[in-house]
Amino acid sequence: MIERAIRRMSLRRLTACVLILFLIATVATGISILAANRVTVARLVDQRIEAIAELVLERDAGQAMVPTSEIRARIATLSGARDTGDVGLLLLDPAGRALGGNITLRRPLPLGRSDLRERDGIIGLSHGRALVREAGAGRRLVVVAETEPFDSYRATRTRIYLIGFGSIILIVFGGIIAFSLLVSRRIGDQRRTVEAIIAGNIRHRVPVTGSDDEFDRQAAAFNGMLDRIGELMEGLRGVSNDIAHDLRTPLARLRGQVARIAQEAHDPVQAERASAALAQCDTLLAMFAALLRIAEIEAGHRQAGFAPIDLAELVEETATMMIPVAEEAGQRLGVTATARPTAFVGDRQLLIQALVNLIGNAIKYGAPGGAIRVALDGAAGGVTLSVADDGPGIPPEQRARALRRFGRLDSSRGQAGHGLGLPLVAAITRLHRGRLVLGDAEPGLRVSLIMPSR
Amino acid sequence: MSLHLILVEDDEDYAQGLAADLKAMGHRVERAGDGRQALAALDREQYDAVILDRMMPRLDGLSVVETLRARGITVPVIMLTALSMASDKVDGLEAGADDYVVKPVAAEELVARIHAVMRGRRWMVSETDTIRAGDIVVSPTSFRAWRGGQPITLANLELKLLAELARHAGEVLTRAMLIERVWGYDFEPETNIVDVYIRRLRMKLTEQGGADPIETVRGIGYSLNP
């Protein structure tokens, strides 16, 4: 139960909880010690003044009560003695007037034990205890004594407490915060590595400090796993690149030969057939080009060529370039750039390719006589580049498949093309640390590239 | 025009296929398996152009072209490269290659590029000069074009396209070459951008009469023949 609660807690919350509990416990301990100390001292002082009162009011054998003169004499003796010189004594008549003693009172004190404060105005006493006893015939004896062994004892005690408990709190707070910072920094190293890998930098590894602690061992295991994944990916990529490359070579030859047949054909039917074969060759070649381009992007080398780009200009220029293509297909193409990101860094060629690809798709799948809308809008910390058509769109349940390589769709949209266009755009978006979102343009498809600026 | 070519390529299968295609187009092709053989052959004989693979054993393509240029041999060199090194295009051109293409490339594409390089060599037209091709005049610097003395209103890209075609009038420019040189893209779009722009250009060039000066070479590209 508790374990589950702790597991679910964030490091920051756990730290805060521990610190708050520790603070409460420390303060409670301090207060308890202070209170116990005060009670003990008061009890000791009470015992002392009680003993002194006994001495003053002690009756000789057969005496009904001690006469006032005798009490005065005893008070004088006690005041002069070394052990009891600090005790205040006062004898009052039934009306509360002083009959003798070495102190004066500002207020009548109740019978029995009570506390004394500085405002009671007894010279040399800031905090103390008082005892009032009946002395016979309506007289009362007041005995007072200090609870502080020396001047400014309370202030000193408070200072000792503050320094003592304060330093404990500071050390523990500092320690726990340092510990949690260390943990979050080392975990942060791992998180940054994972993020870098997701962004396409697969050569990134978790830094190892060389101290061979738990984090280092964790990092080494993690790096080992990444190396292994890298090897597997390298192998797979090598195989698929080899296949793509090996198939492209004979295909390029085939295309050349078909092109020659097309040129030499005098019969229009023959020429038409040759042209159709040529178009099929081109589709196949485009498929391999897209596959190899995705491989090139995912290898991450192109990030080295990232440069600042005026994205709004790029979008406007590319969309404008595509207007004649859209018009020829009987569609309208509009472009709006509400955002002019100034800090965008990326690969110009790849971004143009992504946009040309998306607009090409919109022309291919949009409604006849429809409108295609290209927009560049500002988003939190980045930009959203979107291309919307008003064709049949892609149903939500098929969107994930549309982004997969060769993820052909059941609907009309899946009939043409080779199923690599959107995955290529997605790879380009990922290279720019962004994500591709397929949405509904009501009606039609809206493809949005959400990318951060740097 | 039949060309005398040397194909320097260590990949036996690829070289054989490419050489066969080039021969089928009526060109004379000799082969070299590595950089040293290529340099030896170029010492012995004169070629119209060198088709040079970049990655080879013994002496790689970059070193071969550097050596050639250092010896003062100005033969056109088209460098072939694997896709993984496509981004190293600048290195190849700086070393002295005239063009740089990603393998695999069709023989037609190669020949078109060789012709473009040879033509460029002969005329040494700078990009800023006014270009004349028959009754077509293009001035890229002032963004203007004329046909038969009549001004033609062209959009920026259309003008660049016409200028490129006019600069290589009489030769075939492939779609890949046009995308690379006019659009400046390092990828081949799957949309028929080139065809659409060629159609628009044709329309504007023939608006005031006159024959269509742009010839479609089926499966290869376009050629301006005014």
**Distance of residue B107 Cα from the nearest chain A Cα, in angstroms:** 7
Distance between first and last Cα of chain B: 19
Say what percent of chain A tops pLDDT 90: 26
pLDDT-derived band at A5 (thresholds 50, 70, 90) equals confident
- Interface A-B: count of C-beta contacts within 8 A: 99
Task: List pLDDT tens digits, range A176-193.
Answer: 889 888 888 888 888 888
Compute the distance between CA of residue B76 and CA of residue B171 in angstroms, rounded to an integer.
16
Task: List pLDDT tens digits, range A119-138.
Answer: 887 777 778 899 999 888 88
CATH 3.40.50.300 is the classification of domain A305-452: no
A10 pLDDT exceeds 80?
Answer: no
Q: Which CATH superfamily is domain B4-123 in?
A: Response regulator (3.40.50.2300)
Asked if A240 is an interface residue toward chain B (Cβ–Cβ < 8 A), one would say no
Task: List pLDDT tens digits, range A89-103.
Answer: 999 988 888 888 888
What's the topology of domain B131-224?
Arc Repressor Mutant, subunit A (1.10.10)
Query: Are A135 and A101 in contact, with CB atoms under 8 Å apart?
Result: no
B residues 53..82 contacting A (CB < 8 A): 82
- For residue A318, the one-letter residue type is T
Averaged pLDDT for residues A273-300: 85
Can you count the helices (H) and strands (E) in chain B? 8, 12
**Residue A440, strand partner residues:** A445
Report the range of poorest mean pLDDT among A50-64, A286-300, A409-423, B160-174.
Answer: A409-423
Q: How many other CB atoms sit within 10 Å of the CB of residue A233? A: 13
Asked if B18 is an interface residue toward chain A (Cβ–Cβ < 8 A), one would say yes
* Contacts with B156 from chain A: Cβ below 8 Å: none
Task: List pLDDT tens digits, range B10-67.
Answer: 888 888 889 998 998 899 999 998 889 999 999 899 999 999 998 887 888 889 999 9
Averaged pLDDT for residues B150-168: 92
Query: Are B48 and B21 in contact, with CB atoms under 8 Å apart?
Result: no
pLDDT-derived band at A14 (thresholds 50, 70, 90) equals confident
Averaged pLDDT for residues A368-373: 92
| Architecture of the domain delimited by A2-153 | 2-Layer Sandwich (3.30)
Q: What residues contact residue B137 under an 8 Å CB cut-off, 6+ apart?
A: B130, B131, B145, B146, B147
Q: What residue in A sits closest to B107 (Cα-Cα)?
A: A256
Which has more pLDDT, A172 or A374?
Answer: A374
Q: Which helix (H) or strand (E) holds B202?
A: helix B193-205
pLDDT-derived band at A324 (thresholds 50, 70, 90) equals very high
Listed as own residue / partner, the contacts of A109-114 with beta carbons closer than 8 Å and 24 or more positions apart are A109/A142, A111/A140, A113/A46
**Distance of residue B187 Cα from the nearest chain A Cα, in angstroms:** 7
Compute the distance between CA of residue B91 and CA of residue B97 in angstroms, rounded to an integer.
9
Averaged pLDDT for residues A344-359: 94
At B224 the three-state DSSP class reads strand
Q: What share of chain A is helix, strand, coil (3-state, %, to 5)?
A: 55, 15, 25
Interface test with B, best of A352, A355, A389 (most B CBs within 10 A): A352
At B49 the three-state DSSP class reads strand
- Residue A259 has a pLDDT of 82
Q: How many other CB atoms sit within 10 Å of the CB of residue A167? A: 10
pLDDT-derived band at B124 (thresholds 50, 70, 90) equals low
- For residue A213, the one-letter residue type is D
Report the range of poorest mean pLDDT among A240-249, A265-274, A410-419, A431-440.
Answer: A410-419
pLDDT-derived band at A142 (thresholds 50, 70, 90) equals very high
- For chain A, which residues make up each domain, given as ranges? 2-153, 214-298, 305-452
Can you count the helices (H) and strands (E) in chain A? 10, 12
Q: Of A252, A271, A325, which has the smallest distance from its Cβ to B106's Cβ? A: A252
Q: Which helix (H) or strand (E) holds A243?
A: helix A214-264
Would you say the CATH fold of A305-452 matches that of A214-298? no
Any idea what DSSP says for residue A9?
S
Compute the distance between CA of residue A318 and CA of residue A321 in angstroms, rounded to an integer.
5
Compute the distance between CA of residue A20 and CA of residue A15 in angstroms, rounded to an integer.
9
Averaged pLDDT for residues A195-224: 84
Compute the distance between CA of residue B155 and CA of residue B201 in angstroms, rounded to an integer.
9
Distance between first and last Cα of chain A: 44
Contact (CB<8Å) B24/A260: yes
pLDDT-derived band at A345 (thresholds 50, 70, 90) equals very high
What was the ipTM of the complex prediction? 0.84
Averaged pLDDT for residues A53-65: 83
- For chain B, which residues make up each domain, given as ranges? 4-123, 131-224
- Residue A414 has a pLDDT of 46
**What CATH code is assigned to A214-298?**
1.10.287
**Distance of residue A296 Cα from the nearest chain B Cα, in angstroms:** 7
Asked if B219 is an interface residue toward chain A (Cβ–Cβ < 8 A), one would say yes
Report the range of poorest mean pLDDT among A209-213, A329-333, B44-48.
Answer: A209-213
pLDDT-derived band at B213 (thresholds 50, 70, 90) equals very high
B86 pLDDT exceeds 80?
Answer: no
Two structure tokens written together for A244 = 């793509």
Averaged pLDDT for residues B67-85: 84
